[in-house]
Amino acid sequence: MPFIRTCVHKDTPAAQRQSIVDGIHQALVDSIGMPADELFNLVTDYDAQQFFYSRTFNGVARSDGVVVIDITLRRGRSDAMKRALYASVAQNLEKNAGIAPSDVFIFMHENDYSDWSVGGGKFAMAIVQQVGI
Contact 100, 67 (CB under 8 A): no
Q: In sequence order, what E strands does the chain have? A: 3-9, 41-46, 67-74, 104-111
What is the value of pTM for the model shown? 0.88
Angstrom distance (rounded) from CA 14 to CA 49:
21
Angstrom distance (rounded) from CA 73 to CA 35:
13
Q: Give the model confidence (pLDDT) of 55-92 as tens digits.
A: 999 999 999 999 999 999 988 899 999 999 999 999 99
Determine the pLDDT at residue 129. 53
Edge-to-edge strand list for the sheet holding 67-74: 41-46, 3-9, 67-74, 104-111
List the beta bridge partners of residue 5: 42, 70
Provide the pLDDT confidence category of residue 117 given band limits of 50, 70 and 90: confident
Angstrom distance (rounded) from CA 107 to CA 96:
21
Q: Give the model confidence (pLDDT) of 3-33 as tens digits.
A: 999 999 999 999 999 999 999 999 999 999 9
Angstrom distance (rounded) from CA 61 to CA 18:
25
